[in-house]
Chain A
Amino acid sequence: MTSSGKKIFLYGGLLGGIALVIGAIIAVTAPKLTVLTTQLSESDHIVGSKESKIILIEYSDFQCPACKQFSDVVKAVVSEFQSHIAFAYRYFPLRKIHKNSGISAQAAEAAGLQGKFWEMHDVLFEKQEQWAAMPESQAIEAFKGYAKDIGLDEQKFEKDLSSSNVIEKVAADEKSANKAKVGHTPTFFLNGKEINNPKSLDEFRKVIRDEIEKNNK
Chain B
Amino acid sequence: MSIQKIPNWILASILILASLGFIDATYLTISHYVGADLYCGVSGGCSTVTNSAYSTFMGMYVSVYGMLYYMSILISTVIYIDTKNKKIIKLLMILPAIGFLFSLYLVYLQLFVINAICIYCMASASISTLLLIINMFLIQNYKKLIN
Q: How large is the interface on B (under 10, 10 to 19, 20 to 34, 35 or more residues)?
A: 20 to 34
How big is chain A's contact interface, by range?
A: 20 to 34
B34 adjacent to A29 (CB under 8 Å): yes
What's the dominant secondary structure at chain B's contact region? helix
**Residues of chain A from 1 to 55 with CB closer than 8 A to chain B in the complex:** 6-7, 10-11, 13-14, 17-18, 21-22, 25-26, 29-31
Query: Quick check: B39 and A97 within 8 Å, CB to CB?
Result: yes
The reply to whether A29 and B22 contact each other, CB–CB distance below 8 Å, is no
Asked whether, in the complex, the Cβ of A17 is within 8 Å of the Cβ of B26, the reply is: no
B81 → chain A closest CB, angstroms? 6
Q: Which of B22, B37, B71 contacts A64 (CB 8 A)?
A: B37
Are B51 and A69 touching (Cβ within 8 A)?
yes
Binds A, one of B42-50, B88-96, B124-132: B42-50
Nearest-neighbor residue (CB-CB) of B28 within chain A: A25
- Asked if B37 contacts A185 (CB within 8 A), the reply is yes
Contact between chains at B74 and A31 (CB < 8 Å)? no
Instruction: State whether A31 touches B34 (Cβ < 8 A).
Output: yes
Q: Which of A11, A25, A197 has the most chain B CB atoms inside 10 A of its CB?
A: A25
A196 in contact with B42 (CB, 8 Å): no
Interface core residue of B22, B34, B42, B81 (most chain A CB under 10 Å):
B34
Say yes or no for B78: interface residue by CB 8 A criterion.
yes
A197 to B23, CA, bound (A): 23
Interface string of B14-57 (1 = CB under 8 A from A): 00000100110011001100111101111010011001000000
List residues of chain B with CB under 8 Å of any chain A CB: 19, 22-23, 26-27, 30-31, 34-37, 39-42, 44, 47-48, 51, 71, 74-75, 78, 81-82
| Given A21-B23, A29-B31, 13 more pairs with CB closer than 8 A | A6-B82, A11-B78, A14-B75, A18-B22, A21-B22, A26-B30, A65-B47, A66-B37, A69-B51, A94-B37, A97-B40, A98-B44, A197-B35
